Structure 1
Amino acid sequence: MKTKFLLIAFVLVLMSCNQNQLFDKFNSDFTDNRWEVSDVKSFEFENKQSEGTSDLKLHFGHIRGFQFKEVPLEVEITSPDGNVEKLPVILKLMDESGNDLGDCSGDICDVYQSIKTFEKLEQGKYKVAVKSTFAGPFLPNVLGVGIIVEKQK
């Protein structure tokens, strides 16, 4: 009986995997839910595929009722050839009426925003650094930040 349960759970996990996702990492090591302006979150991934268009998305987790409608960020992408691209990003968290734009469950909200589309994501290792450019010493009520890289369907 226990073996059947484990087998069913394993099949369900495999079925839920997104075949188009090349990378998904979420960093939630924020002390007291504060993202210090000096704290740069870094991610590394290796692309082994050679064809197709890919999207780089930002995943931002926050406490519901965030006090700001948008968050200023900077994303730095280092490609396998060493080329560095800095992208200013304004992450929108609420619409004009003050409603959360993210997926919220209870007190937790997750916002996903596309940052860059690669017509062809070169093979090799990439580094992505995300930092807050918020005007204060820290951004409050942050649960985590991450990136997702996925092939377009």
Structure 2
Amino acid sequence: MKTKFILIAFALLSCNKNIIHDDFDSNFDNNRWVTSDVRVFEFENTQPEGVYDLKLHFGHIIGFQFKEVPLEVEITAPDGKTEILPVAIKLIDDSGKDLGDCADDICDVFQTIKTFENLEKGKYIVSVKSKFAGPYLPNVLGVGIVIEKLK
């Protein structure tokens, strides 16, 4: 099931030539994201400076029991400066409909969490952690980041 999920996500994103980085971590035991577990992603921007979106990719089992998921994203730039962003990934609208791209029992949600007006060259580190109130967030298939060039 996870392989099918990854292939669907790859197919959707591979069509976009503006994607400079796409990393997805689906290594969650029993589809549970333990609250103390931080997922770390690294990417290096080698392209000239420009405007980029940082999108969070959240994969979950269809029929998720929560409308949104509270997260914290920490971005460390090449110069060592760190920015912490509280993020609420919206998964379900007020009518109960999934907001993601869903196929079979799998949903993928992509949400822009930051637009860089000037993404400098160099290595970036993006850490994502769940701020869910319980010991773990259930029904998680994966989390990742996508960096897309806009201009």
TM-score, normalising length from structure 1?
A: 0.88
Q: Name the structure 2 match of 1:57.
A: 55
* 8 A contact 2:42–2:126 mirrored in 1: yes
Q: Name the structure 2 match of 1:24.
A: 22
1:43 to 41, 44, 55: 41
* 8 A contact 2:49–2:121 mirrored in 1: no
Q: CA deviation at 1:42?
A: 0.3
Matches within 5 A, 1:1-153: 16-152=14-150
User: Which stretches in structure 1 are left out of the alignment for 5+ residues?
Assistant: 1-12
Q: Which amino acid aligns with 1:134?
A: F
Q: Which amino acid aligns with 1:78?
A: T
Tell me the secondary structure at the aligned position of residue 104 of structure 1: strand
Q: CA deviation at 1:18?
A: 2.6
Q: Which amino acid aligns with 2:22?
A: D
Tell me the secondary structure at the aligned position of residue 74 of structure 1: strand
Tell me the secondary structure at the aligned position of residue 23 of structure 2: strand
Instruction: Give the superposed CA RMSD.
Output: 1.2
Larger radius of gyration: 1
Query: 1: CA distance between counterparts of 2:95 and 2:15?
Result: 35
Tell me the secondary structure at the aligned position of residue 49 of structure 1: coil
Q: CA deviation at 1:47?
A: 0.3
| Residues 41-98 of structure 1 deviation map (CA, whole Å, 9 limit, x = unaligned) | 0000000112321000000000000000000000000000000000000110011101
Q: CA deviation at 1:19?
A: 1.8
Tell me the secondary structure at the aligned position of residue 134 of structure 1: coil
* 8 A contact 1:50–1:120 mirrored in 2: no
% identity of equivalent residues:
71
User: Which stretches in structure 2 are left out of the alignment for 5+ residues?
Assistant: 1-10
Query: 2: CA distance between counterparts of 1:30 and 1:80?
Result: 29
Q: Name the structure 1 match of 2:3.
A: none
How many pairs were matched up?
139
